[in-house]
């Protein structure tokens, strides 16, 4: 059966560098038989900027955010995918704010027992992946962001994979000419189809 992959892409530029690398990955994944859905989280309409700690999700028997906006349906469907991929440019040593808004709302996919402080997850063990582009090298924000997402995957007991693109050129045109990165991204997409 075909693997179902959800890509949460936070690039603010529809035809930018991160989205270009994401499209190459999608080419590889779909070519290997995966079903891929890509959600542009940068342009979702949010009622609030991130999680507002209302704890409505913890008081509900269902997993998912109780805030009624465009992020909620995406959050509620995440468990239906075999793999969730986060895609972000690195802005000031971290994933961009557009992705952080969505990630904070993922608190709603965890239930915390107030008596034991134990966690239960909507999708325990669900694999995660990261696609990240940066102007800097691996020792800067790119490496730190990789560590952050690795920790998120470990927290819920899932495997983790990443495609890190350091020192990406400033222009999209130059990126399109990077045959080595394109080949690497397509191969990463194929790998995601088999995880």
Q: What is the pLDDT of residue 190?
A: 97
Quickly state the pLDDT bin for 140 (edges 50, 70, 90): confident
Quickly state the pLDDT bin for 12 (edges 50, 70, 90): very high
Residue 1 has pLDDT above 80, yes or no: no
The tokens of 72 are what? 């909620």
Average pLDDT over residues 125-146: 94
Quickly state the pLDDT bin for 195 (edges 50, 70, 90): confident
Domain range 4-192, CATH architecture: 3-Layer(aba) Sandwich (3.40)
Q: Tell whether the torsion through CA atoms of 143, 19, 28 and 82 is positive or negative.
A: positive
Express each pLDDT in 93-132 by its tens digit. 999 999 999 999 999 999 999 899 899 999 999 999 999 9
Q: Which residues are CB-contacts of 83 (< 8 A; sequence separation ≥ 6)? A: 3, 4, 5, 6, 126, 127, 128, 129, 192, 195
Residue 2 has pLDDT above 90, yes or no: no
| Domain range list for the chain | 4-192
Quickly state the pLDDT bin for 91 (edges 50, 70, 90): very high
Task: Say if residue 135 is exposed, middle or buried (CB neighbours under 10 Å; 0-12, 13-18, 19+).
Answer: middle
What's the whole-number average pLDDT of the chain?
Answer: 95
pTM, two decimal places = 0.96
């Amino acid at each position: 059966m075909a693997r179902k992959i959800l890509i949460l892409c936070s690039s603010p530029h529809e035809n930018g560098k991160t989205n270009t690398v994401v499209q190459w990955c999608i080419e590889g994944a779909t070519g290997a038989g995966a079903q891929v859905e890509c959600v542009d989280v940068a342009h979702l309409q949010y009622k609030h900027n991130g999680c507002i700690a209302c704890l409505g999700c913890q008081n509900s028997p269902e997993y998912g955010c109780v805030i009624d906006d465009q992020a909620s349906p995406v959050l509620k469907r995440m468990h239906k995918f075999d793999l969730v991929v986060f895609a972000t440019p690195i802005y000031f040593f971290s994933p961009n704010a557009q992705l952080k808004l969505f990630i904070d709302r993922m608190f709603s996919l965890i239930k915390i027992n107030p008596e034991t402080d134990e966690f239960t997850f909507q999708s325990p063990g669900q694999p995660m992946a990261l696609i990240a582009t940066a102007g800097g090298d691996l020792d800067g924000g790119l490496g730190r962001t990789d560590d952050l997402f690795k920790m998120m995957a470990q927290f819920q007991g899932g495997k983790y994979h990443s495609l890190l693109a350091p020192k990406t050129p400033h222009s999209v045109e130059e990126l399109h000419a990077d045959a080595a990165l394109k080949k690497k991204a397509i191969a990463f997409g194929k790998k995601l189809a088999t995880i």
